[in-house]
Amino acid sequence: MTLPKPKGMRILSATKEKDLKQVMRDIQVDPYGIKVMLPKAQGYILKINALSNISANILKQEMLSLGGDVAVSRNALTGKAKKTDCLIMGNLAQLGSLSNKLHKQPFGLDNLARDLSLALKNYRRENFSLDLGSHRLCLGARSHIMGIVNVTPDSFSGDGLGDKWRAVEYAEKLVRDGADILDVGGESSRPGAKPVSVKVELSRTIPVIKALVRKIKVPVSIDTCKAEVARQALDSGASLVNDISGLKNIKIAKIASRYKAGVVIMHMRGNPRSMQKNPQYACLIDDIIAYLTEAIDRGVSAGIAKEKIIIDPGIGFGKTLEHNLEILKRLREFKVFGLPILSGTSRKAFIGKILNAPPEKRIFGTLASCVVASENGADIVRVHDVKAVKQALLIKDRIRE
């Protein structure tokens, strides 16, 4: 008896749960079978830093027993090293079983089990409801855009708007073009920028914010590192504080908590005057995650609700060209926080270095970086060229649907 040959074979690129589920439905898998097999089809690699060699060896044996594996330092296996980083490799079903087994183990592995379950839950989260007072943003269903409103004379991108009404008209145009949030800033954060006084920053931003709150129907953000500027902006109707200093000034966190405002917490090495002087990291993504973890803890301790926090890995802030590209490539790893991710690549120097182009001619590079960022996990992109980015992301969103 000759059996018919299969009509074709392909390697699936589907990685998201809903995509995998649809493929199974297409071949008419029983609904119960889909429920059982779906976790087996979703593979993950998790990195754990500085685990004791005893715990690492137990972890490896438990994962091997489930059909997965754990990569550890050779010195940890021989007992020469007291600690090792680990890479856990397995599918969702195996990791779930691992978590159950670790709950029964000593040496702190029960805590690791809890952290493992939380990390997976956070990483797989796709949707967020961001409460900004009179505004609520449903993040995840589509890409959202934060439009930049610079009221500074020394913006790196050459788009500074010194006149209040010119700034308001420009902001209204950004909303018509598709901006979901407006970010008003009165102090340049370009590399080497000199700080301005509280008085100057207030004079630039507060009149614009007051006018915008009356005229537009999207939330307004204040881009500042100064507590008094944040306070007056929130008092004038802003509902989000974009703090590039990562809540190093705890007063900003307390003010945001008092007003029940949202907060963008960004990673920055040093400050705008020093950040680009030979930036180096032991391990870029790990270092940024550690920094953001501490900043989030500061914010929560000051009373900010965690569901009001957005994280920003700080592309262009104390990063080389290679650092910025690595962040974009690995942006999804920041989903481990279970918080919305903001990406700010618009017209930045790393795009100029690749294209050999001045800021005003970096729009196509900006479009590419925003599409990549959104595809790799960014919920919000912060941009100057709202209309062009909106169109690019609309195409990307429709493809992903």
* Token pair belonging to 249: 């000034």
* Cross-strand bridge partners of residue 242: 223, 264
Question: Phi and psi of 78, rounded to 5°?
Answer: -90, -10
25 catalytic per annotation: no
Could you confirm whether 190 is annotated as catalytic?
A: no
Instruction: Please give the Cα distance from 354 to 366 (Å, whole number).
Output: 11
Q: Could you give the CA distance from residue 189 to residue 191 in angstroms, rounded to a whole number?
A: 6
Tokens 């940890």 locate to 76
Residue 208, Cα to own-chain centre: how many angstroms?
28
Would you give the DSSP letter of residue 385? Answer: -
The whole-angstrom separation of Cα 334 and Cα 240 is: 21
Q: What are 310's two structure tokens? A: 């957005």
Quote the CA–CA distance of 8 and 173 in Å, as a whole number: 51
* The one catalytic residue among 21, 210, 226, 348: 348
Kindly name the residue from 269, 308, 382, 390 that is annotated as catalytic: 382
Burial class, 196, CB count within 10 angstroms (exposed 0-12 / middle 13-18 / buried 19+): middle
User: What does the DSSP 8-state code read for residue 331?
Assistant: G
Calpha distance 250→196 (Å, rounded): 20
- Give DSSP secondary structure letters for 46-89: EEEEEEEHHHHHHHHHHHHHTT-EEE--HHHHHT--SEEEEEEE
d(CA 11, CA 64): 26
DSSP 371-392: HHHHHTT-SEEEES-HHHHHHH
Q: Hunting for tokens 């589907």 — which residue is that?
A: 14
Q: Phi, psi at residue 70, to the nearest 5°?
A: -135, 125
Give me the active site residues, please. 348, 382
